[in-house]
Amino acid sequence: VSMSITAISSLLFVSVGLSIILLATAFDSHLRPFVGTQRSKKAINMSGATGFIGLGIMGEGMAGRLLSEGVAGTADKPLVVWNRTGSKCTALKEKFPDATIEIKDSAKAVVEACGVTYSILSTPEAAKAVFDAADGVLAGVGEGRSIVDCATLAEADMQRMNEAIVATGGRFLEAPVSGSKGPAATGTLIFLCAGNKALFDEVAAGLSAMGKASHFFGNEVGAGTRAKLVVNSLMGTMMAAFSEGLNLAESVGLDASTMVDVIGQGAVASPMYGLKGPKILAGDHAPNFPLKHSSKDMTLASAMAKKAGVEFTVNDQAETLFRKAKEDKELHVADEDFSAVYKLVQKESADSRKK
């Protein structure tokens, strides 16, 4: 009898165990589709797609480099794009007819479809609008999603985006670029990065395709922007001084073209002077870096210097010059190249001589 009870107990134990296993399996098979719905939506990424948001003066060339260098644009690594003006996306597709380019109807859709999405929008206002929109960047971010923002914004803007993205499980790299339309098209930009170091390492191929150098300033988001504002404020003061120098040369009877050569042969030689000098004298201010954007960067730099409590008088004077040029109702140079500040220098010089 004792053996019979033991045998029965064993059979019952095995039977209960099998029932539990079967029940768990059935429960899992029924529940899995529901549990996995949101996860699969956020994990579309693993197709190898790369996203790009913003195909303006800079973004067009940068996206083109990702395509021409084979970082994106193949069947297994498509480039997924969105731009506020949709025709820019179509133009990119026409320019690279053999590349695999997918056009989405929102920034959110781009981010959801890609593991890494690059973004470069022209102003802090545009960047905020696209980031915060219901169908914007943040709405598409989640675990497995990474944003590399290449715009020049305020430190606080970058830090706010980083905090919001990290809170949703995403990763963020601040990567403002030093360079204009030409370097963007030729892949000779300089990336000034901060934020997620692992992400910085992972996008090395993309940054190399679009630029000649990439610098990492640490994990603190904002450091890349500070570096960019130092560079752009210096560039603005150099252009303001160069404009005044050329105007002075012409005003005292010197041949300005010869003076451009002289400047290029001496200790103050600069690639920017060599490139912009002949164009300024020819009246060619086709935008590579719009004056309104230079003015914006110099204003941000002035605010950064004031916050840091440092002397920044030279930049502040140049910032005033650029702001006046941007706002001048007669010159209409806000959308021209930042070299068009020369026109304001000429105008104010002429007005001064009349007094």
The catalytic site residues sit at 228
Please calculate the CA angle 341-124-289 and round it to the nearest 5 degrees.
30
H/E stretch holding 193: strand 189-195
Smallest Cα–Cα separation from 48: which of 232, 188, 171, 206? 206
Smallest Cα–Cα separation from 270: which of 240, 239, 230? 239
Q: Between β-strands 189-195 and 177-178, what pairing exists: parallel, antiparallel or unpaired?
A: antiparallel
Q: Between β-strands 171-174 and 189-195, what pairing exists: parallel, antiparallel or unpaired?
A: antiparallel
Smallest Cα–Cα separation from 225: which of 154, 123, 164? 154
**Token reading at 65:** 């480099």
Task: Identify the three-state secondary structure at position 52.
Answer: strand
Smallest Cα–Cα separation from 346: which of 333, 237, 335, 292? 333
* Number of Cβ within a 10 Å radius of residue 15: 10
Task: Identify the three-state secondary structure at position 146.
Answer: strand
| Local structure of residue 285 (DSSP, 8 states) | -
